[in-house]
Each structure stands twice: as structure tokens, then as C-alpha cells.
Homo-oligomer: A and B are copies of this chain.
Amino acid sequence: MKSIKRELFGPGPTNVPDSILQALSLPTIGHLDPEFLRIMDETSERLRYCMQTQNALTFVLSAPGSIGMETGLVNLLEPGDKIVICINGVFGGRMRDICERVGAEVVSIENDWGTPVDPDELERTLYDHDDVAVVAFVHAETSTGVCSDAKRIAEVARKHGCLVVSDCVTSLSGVELRVDDWGLDVVYSGSQKCLSCVPGLSPITFSQQAVERIKQRKTRVQSWFCDISLLMSYYESGEKTRAYHHTAPVNSLFAMHEALRLVEEETLETRWARHTAAASRLYSRLESAGLELIVDPEYRLAPLTLVRIPEGTDDAAVRGRLLESKSIELGGGLGKFAGKAWRIGLMGQNATAERVDFVADALISELQ
């Protein structure tokens, strides 16, 4: 197969560092090999740092981020359980879809696309509803480029005795995220965003309170694959008794092990600051060229910027030409923003001044 080199400035995947691709292509070993179990343990330990948590049940799911979302939600909910979902984009809407399929009683709070989740509205909703078990929201909405105040949202939810599920697919390692300090009970992410790893894996963590709730379920989770109780025995027991559940994607997990090592090496604080600095540079470059950003400065998600497509500009034509002439991928709009905005990702190794200039130069000259 011929190699195609793309410059990935869409909503993910992003470009993957060579050392991660090298780890990916190491010879495959068995999923029950003691060496592999050691690598899994080390990966969980690195992930705890990356997520800023001490949760025992912290690991990488063997499937894309959408399985992270599903696993996070369906384990906490039984039919009839009440959940409040804060929706401000595509992925909040997907949370609702998943919860409705479980037969949960869903209370939605909808905020405008391009604006963050409103913690005060959440608080009012929680005063109005008894017996809400879980509050779920998206920390970093990949469809709108908005970052919500996860700390404040969790504070409100916990005050009302709710567990908190946070979608951190596009925030993990690119934006400040402190699972334990902020009191988030279930957090999941994707491999292909700010971790700069290959797509296909979903890091996830469960607090002890979440684990307790799962242990007290009266019904089984309908999805066998997503039923975390079957995996808990694997992750909680010692090496000797680890039971077979499914065949882990060994090579992709090698890649994740390396991706998380790079995060440790850089340190989280430096990595967050790097994403912020790159984003600021992009904002200046685009605004100087007369382009309009969709999200208010206060709520912008550093790893993903939404740019309004100028009046009269052909969305698909511009993206097509950038791809063909410069091998640059920009993201199109999703949902309500389809045809109205471009999504420019600066994730992982692409969050540098040099890469910002590269993509900004290309887009601006294309529009002239």
C-alpha cells in the first residue's frame, strides 16, 4: 500500500509522532503474555497521571471513543434511572440517544451551539427534579469548539448527590483536566485527539463511587462488551488470576503506552500551555486576516477552533483544494454548523507555532 502523508488539522485524528508509529508496529505478542500485562499496568499508571486521578479502575477500552461514551453511561444507568444531560452540541445529543436506549428517564438541558453548558441552569434543574442519579456533559464539544467549566458543573452536580460523567474526548492532555480534584466520576476520551495517538482506543476511568453504584445494579448491562463488571475482575485482580474477556488490540495499546509516555515526559502543565499558546496564535492569524471565530474567547477550546465560512465561499471546494494541493485536512462543520464553519484542530504534536503558521498561511492564501 502506498504511503499518503497528510497534514491533519481537522477534529482528529491528528498527526502521529514517529515514536508512536514505531511502537504500534512492534511484533505482536499475546494479550495474556506477562510482558503485555506489565505494559497494560504501566499504561494504566500513566493514564492516571494524564487524567490526574488515583482511581483503581483506570484503563484503555479496546474500541473508539464512542464506546467510551456508551460504556461510561450504560454501566451507571438502569431502566427508569434519572439522568440530567447538558447538551450543547452533537456529542451531548449522542449521550441522550444512548441513555434513551437504556430506558433511563432523561432530563435534557439544551444550550445554544457555540456556547458552554450553563451550571446555573443545571442547578435550577436539579432543584426541580428529585432522584437524579447522574449528571452528564461534554467537557470539550468537538462539534462546536466549546470548552465548558467541568469543575463548576461537577460541583453543582455533587452538591445534589449526583454522579458526574464527563466526555473529555477532545480535552484530555490538551486542556486542564483534574479528575479527582474536580470530582468527576466517569471520564472517557479518545486516542486520536490531543494524545496524538492512532484512532481506535478510548481511555476511561471510574471513581470508587461509580464502581460502588455498578456493583449495586439490579439488572445486567444490556451490552456484553460494555459491561464493566466483566472487566472489573480483570483489572482489580492480581496478575495471576486475570480472566480472559476479549483479545486486546495489542499493537494499538503499544502505541497508547508510548503516547502516554510522551505526555509524562513533557508534563501535563507544559502540554496544556502549549495547546493554549498555539490556539492563541491561530486566533490572531485568522482574525488579522478578517476571519471570524464562532466561539466567545472565554469558552474557546484550545485544541479545536471553529471559523465561520465567509459569505459566498464554497466550503467543500476550499477544503478539497487544500487537501489536493497541500495535503491539508481541515474539518467541516458538524450538525448545525455543517456548511457554516470549518473546524481547525491543533492537537498533540500539531499544537506548535510552526504548525499554526503552516495551516494559517495555507488557508488565508486559499481564500485570497
On A, residues with C-beta under 8 Å from B are: 1, 3-6, 8, 10, 12-16, 21-35, 39, 62-67, 70, 74, 94, 97-98, 101-102, 190, 192, 198-201, 220-226, 244-252, 254, 257-258, 323, 329, 334
Q: Is the CB of B62 within 8 A of A64?
A: yes
The answer to whether B249 and A28 have CB atoms under 8 Å apart is no
Contacts of A22 in B (CB 8 A): 25
Tell me, in angstroms, the Cα distance from A258 to B25 when the chains sit together. 14
Contact of A25 among B24, B39, B201 (CB under 8 A): B24
Smallest beta-carbon distance A138→chain B, Å: 15
Q: Can you spell out 12 A-B residue pairs with CB atoms less than 8 angstroms apart?
A: A1-B257, A10-B30, A13-B28, A28-B192, A62-B64, A65-B246, A66-B224, A98-B224, A101-B221, A101-B223, A198-B249, A223-B225
A338 to chain B, nearest CB (A): 10
Task: Tell me which residues across on chain B come within 8 A of A13, comparing CB atoms.
Answer: 28-31, 247, 250
A28 surroundings in chain B (CB, below 8 A): 6, 8, 13-16, 21, 192, 198-199
Closest-by-CB residue of B relative to A90 is B244
Interface pair B65/A63, CB less than 8 Å apart: no
Q: Which 3 A-B pairs have the closest CB atoms?
A: A200-B249, A25-B25, A63-B63
A309 → B minimal CB distance (Å): 17
Decide: A6 and B30 in contact? CB cutoff 8 A. Answer: yes
Are A225 and B63 interface neighbours, CB within 8 A? yes
In the docked arrangement, what's the CA distance between A225 and B25, Å?
27
Copy count, this protein chain: 2
Q: Contacts of A29 on B, CB cut-off 8 Å? A: 4, 6, 8, 13, 329
Cα(A190)–Cα(B257), bound, Å: 23
Q: Which residues does chain B contribute within 8 Å of A329, judged by CB atoms?
A: 29-30, 33
Question: Are A198's CB and B334's CB within 8 A?
Answer: no
Rounded to whole Å, the gap between the CB of A329 and the closest CB of chain B is 5
**Smallest beta-carbon distance A193→chain B, Å:** 9
Partner of A64, one of B27, B98, B249: B249
- What's the Cα separation between A27 and B323 when bound, in Å? 15
With A and B bound together, what is the CA distance between A101 and B224 in angstroms?
8
For residue A3, which residue of chain B has the nearest CB?
B26
Q: How far is the CA of A31 from the CA of B6 in the complex (A)?
A: 12
CB-based contact A12/B225 at 8 Å: no
Name the B residues within 8 Å of A63 (CB-CB): 62-64, 67, 225
CB distance from A156 to the nearest CB of B (A): 27
* Residue numbers in B under 8 Å from A10 (CB-CB): 30, 32
B222 near A102 with CB under 8 A, answer yes
CB distance from A41 to the nearest CB of B (A): 14
Q: How far is the CA of A31 from the CA of B191 in the complex (A)?
A: 14
Q: Flag if B24 contacts A251 (CB, 8 Å).
A: yes
With A and B bound together, what is the CA distance between A103 and B169 in angstroms?
32
Bound form: Cα–Cα A32–B331 in Å:
9
- Asked if B70 and A35 make an inter-chain contact with CB atoms under 8 angstroms apart, the answer reads no
Nearest CB in chain B: distance from A108 CB, A: 16
